[in-house]
Amino acid sequence: MSNQQDVNEALMLIFENYWLIREDNPQKYHAVKRVEGPLKRLLQERFGMRLIVHARFIKLEKIPQNAKGWMGIQAFTDVMDYVLFACAMSFTEEKGEGQPFLLNELIEEIVHDYPQEDWLDWTNYNHRRSIVRVLTYMASQQLIEIIEGNTMDFADHHYDGSKEVLYKITVYSRYFMRSYPENLDSYEGWQDMIKEQQQREDLENRVSVFRQLMLEPVIYRHVENEGEFNYLRRQQPFIETFFETHTPFALEITKDFAALTLRELSREYRYFPTSKYRDELLLQLAAFVRGQEYPRDDYGICHLTESRWTTLIGDFAEAYRGGWSKEFREMSQEKLAVLLWKSGEQWLFFRKSDVEYLIMPLFARTIGTYPPDFDPIRPDKWVAEQAEKELNDIKNKQLKQAKGKKKAESDEMFQANLFEEL
């Protein structure tokens, strides 16, 4: 018999890892394997997800309700990376488990398989960098093993083709990509694959809501998901109880969004704000935007033009930059506007339409301000006053310690004199 705590820990392990390889993490692997039965039932009932338990690994198929622009492989930076990755995975599938291959053998094969004929050019530095990112990622996921050589040599500006790298295909490569019941050639495009997936699953509101809450930072209310939001509101006590019982998360529902938040901070999870300095600026920007009282639509969204966004960041920097680090104090308005937008977009605080910059309602849930006595116009004065205050605190502490020591010495002398008199 497995207890609920073991099931809960296993649940978080499989959600926070792409897969658990037995050879690398035997303790985590067996922790999930021990509660395989109840865990599978929980995943199927609440999330409509399939848990794959293999003798060598355990993997949860995390299929999102709808693909989002922010989803993907973090190590990849260009569409080409994904195309080359698909070509490389096709190559390993044809080769088979345990088969060795050379880098030159792979890149020659990819040239023939690449969708755009005569377009791939390995003398192009950016193309070489792309395949290096792909091979580095494949090695990190243990899809291939480097036997001899260095993949990074291929990205060298002066690469002349004389350095070779030897790889071996691992047992895990055949299980990384998700299998489809139909032949991929029968689809005209990826949209058809997604449509068939949705029709096959036909998720109920219950399963859809639970899946989105676990896989996405936030669920925004919009015209197409009013049914899901009505379910969220009606079943809020039940959903809250589930996540409080089975996860370290708490459910938060407002008029315009629903999200899971951490009850206690933990290094095991990625959350906002991170330790990056730009996140501190986003917190301050949230406070600044709140003070501007921009109009919002029926879904809590603030609509700005690109020029209005840039102007907003300029006004924000003028009011706050006094307390920033040198890098951000001296950053141009245009560069700061792009940097903050990209940072906020990663957390779904911001979103772009065809013609507008959208500030989403979740952004209003954050805030960051300077201390009440801080003057961003004269930050040096505040810093000096704080340093002087800290120095005085240290002196007062040392003075108290000295007085305490003198009192202890006086008490010892008194006791010594008393014994002499006796």
Do 407 and 361 fall into the same domain? no
Residue 188 falls within a domain, yes or no? Answer: no
For 212-237, write each residue's pLDDT tens digit.
Answer: 999 999 999 998 888 889 899 999 99
292-320 burial by CB neighbour count: b if 16+ within 10 A, else e?
eeeeeeeebbbebeeeebbebbeebbeeb
Do 139 and 227 fall into the same domain? no
Do 172 and 246 fall into the same domain? no
Do 266 and 290 fall into the same domain? no
Which CATH number characterizes residue 134's domain? 1.10.10
Do 113 and 162 fall into the same domain? yes
Owning domain of residue 90:
79-176
Q: What is the pLDDT of residue 357?
A: 95
Q: How far apart are CA 368 and CA 18, in angstroms?
A: 34
Residue 385 falls within a domain, yes or no? Answer: yes
Do 132 and 213 fall into the same domain? no
Are residues 51 and 43 in contact, defined by beta-carbon separation less than 8 angstroms?
yes
Do 120 and 154 fall into the same domain? yes
Do 215 and 292 fall into the same domain? no
Angle between the N-to-C axes of helices 333-346 and 277-292, in degrees from 0 to 180, rounded to the nearest 10: 100
Query: In the structure, what pLDDT confidence band is assigned to residue 265 with cuts at 50, 70 and 90?
Result: confident
Q: What is the pLDDT of residue 310?
A: 95
- Higher per-residue pLDDT: 179 or 260: 260
Span 245-257, mean pLDDT? 94
> In the block, which residue shows the tokens 């039965």?
37
Query: In the structure, what pLDDT confidence band is assigned to residue 267 with cuts at 50, 70 and 90?
Result: confident
Q: What is the pLDDT of residue 1?
A: 46
Residue 340 falls within a domain, yes or no? Answer: yes
Do 257 and 327 fall into the same domain? no
For 75-111, write each residue's pLDDT tens digit.
Answer: 999 999 999 999 999 999 888 889 999 999 999 999 9
Boundary (domain end) residue, out of 12, 28, 60: 60
Do 287 and 303 fall into the same domain? yes
Q: How far apart are CA 315 and CA 376, in angstroms?
A: 13
Q: What is the pLDDT of residue 410?
A: 63
Do 230 and 290 fall into the same domain? no
Boundary (domain end) residue, out of 254, 271, 288: 271
Residue 371 falls within a domain, yes or no? Answer: no
Residue 66 falls within a domain, yes or no? Answer: no
Query: In the structure, what pLDDT confidence band is assigned to residue 246 with cuts at 50, 70 and 90?
Result: very high
146 has pLDDT over 90:
yes
Structural domain count, the chain: 5
Q: What is the pLDDT of residue 260?
A: 94
For 409-422, write each residue's pLDDT tens digit.
Answer: 565 565 555 555 54
Do 401 and 360 fall into the same domain? no
112 has pLDDT over 70:
yes
Q: How far apart are CA 71 and CA 52, in angstroms?
A: 22
Low-confidence winner among 58-62, 200-204, 367-371 (lowest mean pLDDT): 200-204
Residue 209 falls within a domain, yes or no? Answer: yes
pTM for this one?
0.79
Residue 142 falls within a domain, yes or no? Answer: yes
Residue 317 falls within a domain, yes or no? Answer: yes
